[in-house]
Amino acid sequence: MDGLLLIDKPAGWTSHDVVAKLRGILKIRRIGHAGTLDPFATGLLILGIGKGTKKLTALVGLDKEYEATIRLGASSDTFDVEGLITQIIPSEQREPRDPFEVIPPLPPVGRDDIEEALARFRGGYEQLAPLHSAKKIGGKKLYDLARTGKATEEMRPKKFVKVYRLQITDYRWPDLKINVKCSSGTYIRSLADDIGRALGVGGYCLELRRTKIGGYDVRDALQIDGLTKDQALGSLKTQ
């Protein structure tokens, strides 16, 4: 019972939830995964079973491909839909006099402006990790520091990430759908926030789906719901 198993992670599950589920199905403890997916995200998760766990380190470094929806006109403290959402008010507009006054929404951003903004990130750029991430500072995870109010913007680690492809697949204000191929370690949440900042209207990751890890494709992945031991063993990749 050794090899790799491709799973299409559903929304609401942590990557560890998937590992725990497979341990229960296969009755084996030695299971790990390559490349964590946030709970709100869906898509390809590669699991190492038995001796297959030895291959995971190499898989983590492979390029990734994603489909994402960015909600423009608002920001999130976690850069995704699970955080505290703040609507962006145009700078020329004042704050409402009372809580019942309606402030007009931001005007839609033109597609040409979006293309111009995306061009800044193609090829690669210095990306700051989200404060709400598993990156460690002084032995403590950033999201633990953020939850206790001890994290600061200066603590966000910076890394040069490569963005090989960044294309618009659909745009209907305020939702921008993009297709991304990038190097390992790229935070799509941070990219969404960075794009929103470049446009001057804010943005956060509303939906995220990982479609590829290297040559592995989510179309070849199994659904975790209703998965049986025989199905899992029959789909193990041993090469």
What is the CA angle 215-218-221, rounded to 5?
Answer: 110
Task: Work out the average pLDDT over 117-130.
Answer: 94
95 pLDDT band, cuts 50/70/90, is: low
CA distance 56 to 45: 11
What's the whole-number mean pLDDT along residues 110-127? 98
Checking if the pLDDT of 15 tops 80, the result is yes
pLDDT band at 236 (very low <50, low <70, confident <90, very high): very high
Residue whose token pair is 């079973």:
49
Q: With pLDDT > 90 as the criterion, what percentage of the chain qualifies?
A: 73
What is the CATH code for 3-60+217-235? Answer: 3.30.2350.10
Domains 3-60+217-235 and 64-92+109-213 share a fold: yes
pLDDT score recorded for residue 203: 97
Residue predicted with more confidence, 46 or 133: 46
Q: pLDDT value at position 102? A: 57
Per the model's pLDDT, the better-predicted residue between 197 and 153 turns out to be 197
pLDDT value at 128 more than 90: no
How many Cα atoms sit within 13 Å of 153 on the Cβ side? Answer: 2
Average pLDDT over residues 130-155: 60
Average pLDDT on 86-112 reads 71
Q: 64-92+109-213 maps to which CATH number? A: 3.30.2350.10
Q: Which of 161, 159, 133 is nearest to 146 (CA)?
A: 133
Domain boundaries, the chain: 3-60+217-235, 64-92+109-213
The predicted pLDDT at position 155 comes to 62
pLDDT at 159: 87
Question: Which residues, including other chains, have CB under 8 Å from residue 125's CB and lie 6 or more apart?
Answer: 160, 161, 163, 194
Reported as a single tens digit per residue, the pLDDT across 56-67 is: 999 999 999 999
Query: Which of residues 131 and 38 earns the better pLDDT score?
Result: 38
Confidence bin at 140 (pLDDT 50/70/90): low
Question: Cβ distance 30 to 50 under 8 Å?
Answer: yes
Q: Closest by alpha carbon to 75, among 205, 238, 210?
A: 205
38 is catalytic: yes
Residue 124: the pLDDT is 96
Q: In the predicted model, is pLDDT for residue 151 greater than 90? A: no
Query: Among residues 2, 8, 17, 38, which one is catalytic?
Result: 38
- pLDDT tens figures, 165-183: 999 999 999 999 999 999 9
